[in-house]
């Protein structure tokens, strides 16, 4: 797994996560947020930075590492079955 500092995080991904964080932050109804699509880029920038940090933290988390290990193991097991013809007739995942 790449070091968390070298994982490229696309701007589109950062903005989608930022929007989700922003909407979740204001979902309690105490405030009426400005619609995300109408917000100027300067208003979105702090949310994008929070999103980027959240994504990096998630990638570095033990939970994510365990998830990757489980997926890798599952794929490795499936590849072994393929080599032995054990996945014949199974629907792809």
Q: Are the C-beta atoms of 19 and 36 separated by less than 8 Å?
A: yes
Q: Are the C-beta atoms of 54 and 13 separated by less than 8 Å?
A: no
CA angle 74, 61, 25 (to 5 degrees): 115
pLDDT tens-place values along the chain, 93 residues long: 445 556 678 888 899 999 988 888 777 665 666 788 888 889 889 989 999 988 888 888 888 888 888 888 877 677 666 666 665 656 655
Residue 5 makes CB contacts below 8 A (sequence gap 6+) with: 56
Tokens of 55: 């994504």
pTM of the model: 0.55
- Quick one: pLDDT at residue 69? 86
């Amino acid at each position: 797994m790449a070091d968390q500092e070298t994982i490229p995080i696309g701007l589109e991904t950062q903005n989608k996560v930022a929007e989700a964080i922003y909407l979740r932050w204001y979902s309690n109804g105490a405030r009426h947020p400005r619609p995300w699509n109408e917000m100027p880029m300067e208003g979105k920038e702090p949310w994008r930075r929070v999103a980027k940090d959240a994504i990096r933290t998630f990638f570095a988390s033990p939970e994510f590492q365990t998830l990757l290990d489980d997926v890798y193991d599952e794929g490795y097991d499936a590849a072994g079955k393929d080599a032995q013809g054990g996945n014949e007739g199974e629907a792809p995942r």
